[in-house]
Amino acid sequence: MRMHIDWTRCDGRGLCIELLPELLTRDDWGYPVGRGGSEIAIPQNLESAAHDARALCPTQALSLHG
């Protein structure tokens, strides 16, 4: 499973970074980016947290694929 961030929707407050600190960090402007680059692969042990982040994102900027 992979996560996609739609930065055109994101408000940059960072809730998803707090929920998935293992996978996400802030860029220079405070927006979330994958720690490993633009491909954000979700390991099985973080799938539940990824679903929570997607559901709780206030602007529906997160989507999960695969």
Which residues of this chain interact with ligand SF4, rule CB under 6 A? 5, 10-16, 32, 57-59, 61-62
Greatest Cα pair distance, the chain, in angstroms, is 29
Q: How many residues are there in the chain? A: 66
Q: Which two tokens stand for residue 8?
A: 């055109």
Q: What are the beta bridge partners of residue 62?
A: 5
Shortest spacing between CB 20 and ligand SF4, in angstroms: 9
For ligand SF4, the closer CB: 14 or 43: 14
Q: Is 11 in a helix, a strand, or coil?
A: coil
In angstroms, what is the minimal distance from the CB of 2 to ligand SF4? Answer: 15
Q: In whole angstroms, how close is the CB of 44 to ligand SF4 at the nearest point?
A: 22
